[in-house]
Each structure stands twice: as structure tokens, then as C-alpha cells.
Structure 1
Amino acid sequence: MKKIIKLILWMISAAAILYVIALCFIYFKQEEFLFRPEVLTEDYIYQFEGEFEEVEIPVDTNISLNGLLFKAENPEGLIIFYHGNAGALDKWGGYASFYLQNNYNFFVYDYRGYGKSDGEIEKTGHLLNDALIIYDSISNIMNEKNPVIAGYSLGSGIAAYVASKKAANSLLLFAPYYSLRKTAIDAMPYFPGNILRYNIETANYLRNVECPVYVFHGLEDELIFPEQSEQLTDIPGTRVQRLTYENVSHNVFGHPRVNSDLENILDDIN
């Protein structure tokens, strides 16, 4: 019996040690889980249809973020877009054509460490504060006081933050999360949510958003569960319209069925 008890205690101790090691690994390596940038060389040449220009926006000492500004022939407005956690502008710039066809100028940029952008993401402020600087810079360049703010996945919370601080015509959220911490808990239910050093509280930001909010979410999304965006519609005082799509997963941004609805929305908001 004593041997069995010792064995059980040893197994519990070993499991506890492994759990602590896993916690430390997640805590110190979480950037590798959250951010999956593609790095582009400085001389990389973007190739897209339509008129566009590369823009470098300083956000900190010796740090500039690389962006692409696409210009429509007869623009009815400006869309500032905050992209997901993977890839770079060589991919994200390809989505501009839909907005150009609907007579909207379109701006998208790479976060720190993505594409041609300088620096690395080391804290939440590097995402949120940079996003405000981007908004101010592009709004001034385009002389647009009331742009449409849009965000996908990781960028949805960033977009909501910007809309809570700045003027916006509308806020478009694709596959949004209630909070980044809740998303981490959904993905790793056996680990405490506060282990995540990065937290973006979409729900809290929406309480201070005055413009109409449109949410687009695939019902087969296994990365950010649809229940999270459903909870966003329950926030008092907000104007959130949620559109869901059967047989659509996390890749809702740019999906043909989503674009069909989005086209009607873009027509209505101007």
C-alpha cells in the first residue's frame, strides 16, 4: 500500500511540475502562439491591381510601420483595416480590390515585425497605440474625418479599440472575439486566462463606440467560437448587427457570401 501511495504522490508531483513548466513556456513564448508574421525584404515589390502607394508611418523612435494605400477612382469613403495575426501585406493587400470596386479607398498596414514593418510586438500597447497613430496619419493624409474602421480576427479587437477613441462612420468586425483572454481560455481551458500578457477587450471597447457596428462570423469557426460574437450583441447601449454564415469557418473575411452582404452595407452607410 505504501508503495502505491508513493507512486501516486510521485505521479501527482510530476504532473504538477510538468504543469508549471507548461505555464512558464506559454507565458514566456506566447508571442509565438499569438503572432505569426511573415517577414518581407525591404526591396520587396508589391504587385496588385489598381492604384496604390506604399506608406511608411513612424510610430516610435526608429520604428515605422509599412502600409498600403489603395485609391478608388470615385471614392465615397475610406476604410482603415486591421488585419489578422498571420501573413503580411503581400497577402492582405489582395483584399483591396473588393473595396475599390465599391468605391472605397482602402488602407492596410503591417504590425510591428510583420512584412516590412520595423520592431517587434512586446506588449499590448504596441498594437493599440500604434493603431491610433495609424488612424490619425491616414485620416490626415486622405483628409477623411469619418472613415470606416474594419478588423479581422486579431485585428477586430484593435479596430474596436480605435473606434472607441476616434470618429468612425461604421465599424466592421470579421470573426471578432469578446476578449483575447477569453479566446485563450477557449483554446487552452486547463490554463488560467491571466497567464496571457496580451489582452484586448473588444466588449469593453464597444461600450464607447457610437457608430453602427456590423459583425460577420462563420458558424463553423473553431478558432474564435461564434458564441463570442453573439455575446457582443448583448452589450447595452451599442448598435451591433450580427450576420452569421453556415458552413463558413474562421476565414470569413473576403468570403463571397460575406462580401455580398457587405456590398449592401457599404452602399447604405454612405
Structure 2
Amino acid sequence: MKKKLLVAALVATPVLTYAGVCGWMYAKQRDMLYLPQETKADAKQTDFGIARNGVMLNGWLVNIGQPGAVLYFGGNSERIEDRREDFAKWFPNSSTYLVPYRGYGASEGTPTQADILEDALAVFDQVQARQPHARIVVIGRSLGSAVASYVASKRPVAKLVLVTPFDSMANVAQAHYPWLPVKWILQDRYDQADYLAKYQGPLLIVRAGRDDVVPASSTDQLIASLPHAPQVLNLPRADHSTVATDRTYAKTLSTFVGSAVALP
């Protein structure tokens, strides 16, 4: 009897340990998913804002008064204000809006998928109200690619740029934590492939050949799921962090966005 109890205890211990780890990961997942710590900024340094259900989203507006419009959704730990100088040069005929997610930069609140996606629609609507005749190009990088894709599924986006995108956050997380039942416990899934299922507009996808954050298979699955073939820029020497420093990146985005402004 004692031997059976010992065997049962030995079997139960790793099972209970694994269950405990899964429970801890479930409780802490948003702390691990969202990384706003390095992006904090002073709201006094921003020049564009929008109120959302008692939360202020504070960001930056580049090239005020231009006929075109670009809306940029950044990566998970990206200081998007650092893109102002580049975007001013790359998109000279477009006013570019950079608004951090809630809890990021100078924006108030706490990030969740539901709030981030609804905030993104509100920001698009604000841009459209400010520039009712502009063709709005939406650019999203990494986490922002899913946000941009969601906006494109709900609003009249003229063109869409996805930088290091993925098919779903569940697949990305599963690749990083293969020993966890990620698809069962993940709350914020960002099912980007589903968002793009009916998008028919012009689409540019940028891939980093040495991406160590978004698995190549996740990007491949996204591309394979699209209703029509996108334009793809492959940057074989770039990784997830350096993709935007490639000269080809700047030239390709500038041409892609600039042509939207030139269209009637």
C-alpha cells in the first residue's frame, strides 16, 4: 500500500507542477505579452491625442497638412516617436499619425486585445475626420501588423503594409513555448489571418530573413491564407529588430505609400 502511494505521489508531482506552471502562465500572460516598459514618454511631449472611454491616447503627428495620410501601429516594445524623422522623409506628401497603444508611450490605460483593436478603429476614424478626402495608408509592424490588419478588415484602408507579420499570436507563442498548451490558455490571440480573409486592397508584406521573434512558418501561413497574392519584400539579412534599417525597406515603403497619394 505504501509503495502504491509512493508511486502515485511520484506520478502526481510532475503533473501538479506542470498544472501550476500553466496556471501561473495564464495569470501572467499579459505581463509577458505586452512590453510597454521601454516605451514610456511624457504626454507633454506629444502633439496629437484622442480620448477613448476615459483613457487618453497621446501620440505624434508628422508632416501636418499634407494631402495623404499614414497611420502607423508599432511593434511591441517600439518607441514609435523615434520613427518621426524617417517617416517625414519617406512620406513627404502624407501626414503620418503615430499613436501608442494604451499603456504604451504617453497613452493611458492597460493594454488588452479588445481595447487595442477598438482604439485603433477610433484613431482611424479620427484621422478620417481630420482628412476626409485623404486615402489612408495603414502600416503595422510585428504586433502592430495584427492591429493594422484588423483596421483593414473594418475600415476603408487605401493600402496596407505589414512588417514582420504573423498568422496568429497563438502560433507565434506556441513556437516559443512548445511545452505549453498555448492555444488553450492564450487570451489575446490576434488572429491576423482571419482579419485579412476578405481584404482585397493593395498589400505589402515585409519579411526579415533572420527574424528570431516571428517564426518564418507563421508568416508563410499568413501569406498562404490571403485571398490574393501580396507584394512581398524579402530582407534576408535583417532580423526582427533591424528590418527597418535596411535601405531597401525605406525605398519600398516610400514608393508604395507615395503611389497611394498620387492615385485619383
Compared CA separation, residues 100 and 144, structure 1 to 2 (3 A): farther
Residue 188 of structure 1 is matched in structure 2 by 177
* 1:212-251 deviation per Cα after TM superposition (whole angstroms, max 9, x unaligned): 1110010111110122222222225234222211121112
* 1:130-184 deviation per Cα after TM superposition (whole angstroms, max 9, x unaligned): 1100100122113344200110111100100001111111100001010111111
Residue 33 of structure 1 is matched in structure 2 by 32
Residue 220 of structure 1 is matched in structure 2 by 210
Which structure: greater helix fraction? 2
Q: Structure 2 stretches of 5 or more lacking a match?
A: none
Compared CA separation, residues 141 and 188, structure 1 to 2 (3 A): same
Aligned length in residues: 254
State the alpha-carbon separation in 1 of the partners of residues 226 and 175 from structure 2: 24
Q: In terms of mean alpha carbon deviation, does 188-197 or 224-233 score higher?
A: 224-233
Residue 56 of structure 1 is matched in structure 2 by 49
Task: Map residues 148-167 of structure 1 onto 2, 5 A cutoff.
Answer: 148-167=137-156
Compared CA separation, residues 133 and 254, structure 1 to 2 (3 A): farther
Q: Is the contact made by 1:78 and 1:144 (CA closer than 8 Å) also made in structure 2?
A: no
State the alpha-carbon separation in 1 of the partners of residues 107 and 64 from structure 2: 25
State the superposition RMSD in angstroms: 2.1
Q: Is the contact made by 1:212 and 1:239 (CA closer than 8 Å) also made in structure 2?
A: no
Residue 16 of structure 1 is matched in structure 2 by 15
**TM-score of the pair, normalised by structure 1:** 0.86
Equivalent position to 1:202, from 192, 195, 199: 192
Compared CA separation, residues 40 and 11, structure 1 to 2 (3 A): farther
Paired letter, 1:59: R
Residue 81 of structure 1 is matched in structure 2 by 72
State the alpha-carbon separation in 2 of the partners of residues 166 and 114 from structure 1: 24
Residue 88 of structure 2 is matched in structure 1 by 100
State the alpha-carbon separation in 2 of the partners of residues 8 and 36 from structure 1: 43
Residue 237 of structure 2 is matched in structure 1 by 247
State the alpha-carbon separation in 2 of the partners of residues 106 and 12 from structure 1: 58
Q: Structure 1 stretches of 5 or more lacking a match?
A: 47-53
3-state SS of paired residue (2:96): strand
State the alpha-carbon separation in 2 of the partners of residues 41 and 23 from structure 1: 36
Q: Is the contact made by 1:233 and 1:242 (CA closer than 8 Å) also made in structure 2?
A: no
Q: Is the contact made by 2:61 and 2:95 (CA closer than 8 Å) also made in structure 1?
A: yes
Residue 67 of structure 1 is matched in structure 2 by 59
* 1:34-77 deviation per Cα after TM superposition (whole angstroms, max 9, x unaligned): 1111333444x36xxxxxxx1120111x212112111167x352
Q: In terms of mean alpha carbon deviation, does 107-116 or 232-241 score higher?
A: 232-241
- Is 2:257 the partner of 1:266? yes
